Amino acid sequence: MATAPVARDVVPDRRTLSVEVWIVLALSLGASALYAVLDLAQDVSSGRALRQQTAVINASVTANSTLNLLYQLLGIAVAVVPVVLVVYLLGRSGESAGSIGLDAKEPGREVVWGAALAAVIGGAGLALYIGSFYGGLDLKVVPTNLPPTWWRIPVLLLAAVQYGLLEEVVICGYLLHRLQQIGWRENRSLVTSALLRGSYHLYQGAGGFVGNLVMGLIFGRLYQRQGRLGRLVLAHSLIDAGALVGYVVLKGKVSWLP
């Protein structure tokens, strides 16, 4: 995997790196995975079919529009703190965001790769969700129930960027980078990262798990081979932006949308 050279004498030992990884995951998507497993278990134990369950992702918090906006912005800001933590920890070990391929090199190539990945992965993911939902394997996922205010679309776009940054920086770039430094083999690291990605999407049901597991395998392998993270962040953000804004635009206008 292509990474920037680092001064080996400032990179922590394997035990320290292992503890660091556990802490980062516990403060971010590792905890989300555990909650998703429990939530799915609760849904299943209720005895109702998954199609009768609903998961709202970007939920409205209050009827007061100004407070609702502030809640949404605060939630987005807090959610990206683990990304800041990761960049800080890399800096503490003599590295940088560039060490995990998050920099401004070759922006044109990053945009082309990101757009192409978003089109392929996003289209396949939508087809998988529609098929698994009508097959009774998935919950009904409502991307948002925010009110039709002036700030709804901007907030959804910010949320999409937040999801792209958080998931790709923590689960793809940082985790695979640190596991490599700890001494894990590539395939073991890749499967671990992909399983974790699938697990915190279990709130969407089996289709959400499988779709994101496959996405994790593809994105993770691309990262291991290319060492570039920006294109993955962009692709993920575009996929989520399409899902969030597309839902707002198409809701009630197409018959196949759950």
155 token code pair: 């907030």
CA 117 to chain centre: 15
The packing angle between helices 81-92 and 152-166, to 10°, is: 30
- Residue 8's pLDDT is what? 47
pLDDT beneath 70, residues of the chain: 1-9, 43-44, 46-53, 133, 135-139, 255-258
* 7: DSSP letter: -
- Residue 50's pLDDT is what? 57
- With residue 34 as reference, give the H or E element that holds it: helix 29-45
Question: For the chain, give me the number of helices (H) and strands (E)?
Answer: 10, 2
pLDDT in tens, 39-59: 777 766 766 555 556 777 888
- Residue 152's pLDDT is what? 94
**Which conformational region is residue 219 in: left (phi greater than 0), alpha (psi within -120 to 50 degrees), or beta?**
alpha
- Residue 132's pLDDT is what? 72
- Residue 7's pLDDT is what? 45
pTM of the model: 0.89
Could you give the CA distance from residue 14 to residue 100 in angstroms, rounded to a whole number? 18
- Among residues 56, 51, 197, the alpha carbon closest in space to that of 130 is found at 51
